[in-house]
């Protein structure tokens, strides 16, 4: 199993993922002149979302939740299996065997090419696997119970959505992501179908002695990823479009974003705050990522944010479209 998928489900147990640093012309050394801790007591929350601005037009959405928020109050079989593979991957990363080092290097390079929006959306669990809590009694209710009993969003505790003040607002977050969700849903549904159709073609490889069915493992993994993205998109659309499920929570983080040694990023942050999101530009640099992740209470997210920065920096430099596959969806 691969690290971009492997996230502990219990609160406080988010595992660090692979770290992929961008071009060395930009400093990747974490800032040390000030240590930022969490800006909020996140451990008191059963479930919450956060939005971390990457560019002036795109933010990394991430979901974190406790075992209390899971159906049955404990991780599902899927989560336990994923965590076992996470432990296996961690052992491979720290292994001194040359073969394991080569495998980790190749896989990390490949994983760094997966669009960051995919790892972002995968963090949202299926709404069917999460408890919500009533305002009156703080009673956990499943999505099935909500639908069956016709419980209104106003009767449920809202899910906090944290974001940096001045850089983002609730309206801006909705405006950024809502138009893309339908496109992304169609794309991952199509890719999931392709992987399922191609998977049987790898069965003959199983008959070859010693040779592992790497194409089969790859297609299975990618099918699982696409399925998780579809569940995440469905849940996020539900939260954004059906009532007051989310409550905005501004965090003062301007000081963290401006602490970067990247002068261009610092200027982009100032421009975004004073003028707006046009033209699109990068507002986060590698050196402040650990501080930002600590401020949101998710230090283990550092690797994913670094990958998002690398990908967006390259896209903006090349002037590439956001979704180059958009015109191929209906073909």
> Nearest CA to 180 among 237, 133, 130?
237
Give the Å distances, CA to CA, from 236 to 124, 166, 315: 7, 23, 25
> Nearest CA to 122 among 301, 247, 290?
301
Q: What is the pLDDT of residue 36?
A: 52
Could you tell me the strand order of the sheet in which 246-251 lies?
59-65, 47-53, 159-164, 246-251
User: In this predicted model, what pLDDT tens digit does every residue of 269-282 receive, in sequence order?
Assistant: 999 988 877 789 99
Give the Å distances, CA to CA, from 206 to 54, 88, 211: 43, 23, 8
Q: What is the pLDDT of residue 308?
A: 95
Give the Å distances, CA to CA, from 319 to 185, 284, 313, 315, 324: 24, 18, 10, 6, 11
User: In this predicted model, what pLDDT tens digit does every residue of 279-306 receive, in sequence order?
Assistant: 899 999 999 999 999 888 888 899 999 9
> Nearest CA to 301 among 29, 51, 27?
51
Asked whether 238 and 245 are in contact (CB, 8 A), the reply is: yes
H or E element in which residue 133 lies:
strand 132-133
Kindly give, in sequence order, each residue whose CB lies less than 8 Å from that of residue 79, ignoring residues fewer than 6 positions away: 9, 70
Task: Please give the average per-residue pLDDT across 37-63, as a whole number.
Answer: 88
As given in the structure block, the two tokens for residue 79 are: 């989560």
Q: What is the pLDDT of residue 207?
A: 78
Q: What is the pLDDT of residue 56?
A: 93
User: In this predicted model, what pLDDT tens digit does every residue of 233-259 receive, in sequence order?
Assistant: 999 999 998 778 999 999 988 888 988
As given in the structure block, the two tokens for residue 230 are: 């579809």
Q: What is the pLDDT of residue 268?
A: 92
Asked whether 313 and 282 are in contact (CB, 8 A), the reply is: yes
Q: Is residue 38's pLDDT more than 60?
A: yes
As given in the structure block, the two tokens for residue 224 are: 């699982």
CA angle 151, 229, 182 (to 5 degrees): 75
The alpha carbons of the chain give a radius of gyration, in whole angstroms, of: 20
As given in the structure block, the two tokens for residue 51 are: 């939005």
- For the whole model, what pTM was predicted? 0.82
As given in the structure block, the two tokens for residue 246 are: 């989310």
Q: Is residue 44's pLDDT more than 70?
A: yes
Q: What is the pLDDT of residue 233?
A: 96
Question: Which residue in the block uniquely carries the two structure tokens 């990363």?
Answer: 93
């Amino acid at each position: 199993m691969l690290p971009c998928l492997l996230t502990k489900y219990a609160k406080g147990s988010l595992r660090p993922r692979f770290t992929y640093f961008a071009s060395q012309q930009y400093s990747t050394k974490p800032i040390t002149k000030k240590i930022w801790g969490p800006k909020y007591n996140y451990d008191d929350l059963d479930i919450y979302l956060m939005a971390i601005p990457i560019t002036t037009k795109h933010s990394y959405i991430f979901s974190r939740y406790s075992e209390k928020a899971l159906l049955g109050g404990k991780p599902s079989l899927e989560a336990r299996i994923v965590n076992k593979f996470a432990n296996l991957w961690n052992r491979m990363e720290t292994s001194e065997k040359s073969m394991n080092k080569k495998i980790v290097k190749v896989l990390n390079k490949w994983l760094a090419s997966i669009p960051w929006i995919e790892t972002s959306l995968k963090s949202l669990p299926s709404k069917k696997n999460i408890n919500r809590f009533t305002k009156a009694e703080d009673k956990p209710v499943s999505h099935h119970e909500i639908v069956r009993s016709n419980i209104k969003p106003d009767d449920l505790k809202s899910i906090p959505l944290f974001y940096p003040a001045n850089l983002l607002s609730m309206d801006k977050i909705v405006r950024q992501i809502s138009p893309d969700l339908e496109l992304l849903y169609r794309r991952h549904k199509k890719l999931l179908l392709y992987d399922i159709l191609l998977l049987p073609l790898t069965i003959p490889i199983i008959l070859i002695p010693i040779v592992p069915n790497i194409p089969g493992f790859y297609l299975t993994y990618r099918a699982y990823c696409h399925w998780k993205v579809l569940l995440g998109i469905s849940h996020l659309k539900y939260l954004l479009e059906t009532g007051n499920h989310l409550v905005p929570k501004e965090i003062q983080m301007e000081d963290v974003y401006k602490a970067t040694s990247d002068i261009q990023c610092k200027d982009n942050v100032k421009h975004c705050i004073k003028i707006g999101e046009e033209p699109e530009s990068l507002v986060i640099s590698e050196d402040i990522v650990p501080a930002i992740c600590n401020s949101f209470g998710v230090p283990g997210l550092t690797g994913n944010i670094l990958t998002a920065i690398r990908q967006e920096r390259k896209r903006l430099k090349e002037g590439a479209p956001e979704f180059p596959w958009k015109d191929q969806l209906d073909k």
